């Protein structure tokens, strides 16, 4: 069972990060502003052999990732989804890494974390990338025949994590896995379900796109927030390991009964997915190397 990142994207605080340069005369070469970096960072290969991945939002300036694949980290660093990443060696989907890093600013949020993580990936994984725009298949998310039936956001239906109430740590080796509380403004995903509290349609679309391995365009017209409890079979989704870029497969004996994710979206949320084509910007990996243990 795998906890999906951030689409862990929904946990963000706003703090300005100011970089300073200085003006020069035409005869003097300009000095580039200093690149933002973590004060301290540890990167170690995860050799547990387990599938579970956890990437925690920054709390108190600290960033922690357990058994995270490089492709997941690239997605977080550059704010892109798996299907928006092209190229790279096969191991970026399979090799896990444990990362402990600390920023100089204890109030750093997810947006300020991204350039720090980019610098870390460039240094430790020798990552180089460029961007291209390609015409690719997409899904349009539309209202269903009888209109949306989105659950109203409940006041106590989720937990608001923050500096004084961080998400629970991952279970210790040998301990049973327990799904953490549903975060407010965020998602938890398992191979056969999605849980979200007080989420926007834009947030839901990103998590749905990650599961389907294809961009999803919001055409619902819905502008409020809602709760999500979506149950489906993982077959045909990235959670089952059957799509390009899927990091892990299903545990042995996992229950694959239930409706498809397309049927679940229609029956449980009153929405429908329609296949279309459209231009999408993708991030292309030019080079990546395995990070050695500290």
Q: How does pLDDT run across 66-107, given as a tens digit for each residue? A: 999 999 999 999 999 888 999 999 999 999 999 999 999 988
| Whole-number pLDDT of residue 136 | 86
Q: Supply φ then ψ for residue 7, to 5 degrees.
A: -45, -10
Lowest mean pLDDT among 14-18, 155-159, 188-192: 14-18
Mean of the pLDDT values across residues 11-16?
Answer: 25
| Cα–Cα distance measured from residue 147 to residue 143, given in angstroms and rounded to the nearest whole number | 5
Structural domain includes residue 3: no
Mean of the pLDDT values across residues 120-140?
Answer: 94
| Whole-number pLDDT of residue 114 | 94
Kindly report, residue by residue over 201-252, the tens digit of the pLDDT.
999 998 999 889 899 999 999 999 999 999 999 888 877 654 444 444 555 5
Alpha helix positions (H), the chain: 70-78, 110-124, 201-212, 261-269
* Per-residue DSSP letter, 110: H
Structural domain includes residue 248: yes
Structural domain includes residue 208: yes
**Percent of the chain surpassing pLDDT 70:** 75
Residue 43, Cβ density class (10 Å: 0-12 exposed, 13-18 middle, ≥19 buried): buried
| Cα–Cα distance measured from residue 49 to residue 53, given in angstroms and rounded to the nearest whole number | 11
Structural domain includes residue 1: no
Structural domain includes residue 128: yes
Give me Rg for the CA atoms of the chain.
20
| Residue range(s) defining the domain that contains residue 276 | 8-14+23-287
């Amino acid at each position: 069972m795998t906890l999906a990142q951030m689409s862990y994207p929904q946990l963000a605080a706003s703090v300005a990060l100011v970089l300073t340069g200085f003006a020069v005369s035409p005869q003097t070469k300009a000095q580039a502003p200093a690149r933002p970096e973590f004060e301290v960072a540890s990167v170690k290969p995860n050799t547990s052999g387990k599938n579970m991945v956890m990437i925690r939002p920054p709390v108190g300036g600290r960033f922690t990732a357990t058994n995270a694949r490089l492709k997941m980290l690239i997605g977080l660093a550059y704010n892109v989804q798996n299907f928006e990443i092209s190229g790279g060696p096969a191991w970026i989907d399979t090799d896990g890494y444990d990362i402990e890093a600390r920023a100089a600013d204890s109030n750093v949020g997810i947006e300020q974390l991204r350039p720090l993580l980019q610098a870390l990936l460039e240094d430790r994984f020798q990552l180089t990338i460029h961007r291209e725009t390609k015409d690719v298949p997409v899904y349009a998310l539309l209202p269903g025949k009888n209109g949306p039936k989105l659950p109203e956001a409940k006041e106590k239906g989720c937990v608001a994590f923050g500096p004084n109430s961080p998400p629970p740590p991952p279970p210790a080796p040998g301990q049973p896995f327990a799904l953490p509380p549903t975060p407010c403004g965020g998602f938890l995903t398992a191979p056969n379900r999605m849980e979200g509290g007080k989420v926007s349609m834009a947030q839901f679309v990103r998590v749905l796109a990650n599961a389907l391995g294809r961009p999803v365009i919001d055409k619902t017209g819905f502008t409020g927030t809602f709760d999500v409890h979506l149950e489906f079979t993982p077959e045909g989704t990235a959670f089952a390991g059957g799509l390009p870029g899927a990091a892990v497969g299903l545990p042995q004996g996992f229950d694959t009964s239930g409706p498809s994710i397309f049927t679940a979206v229609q029956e449980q949320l009153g929405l429908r997915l329609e296949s279309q084509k459209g231009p999408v910007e993708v991030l292309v990996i030019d080079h990546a190397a395995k990070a050695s243990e500290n």
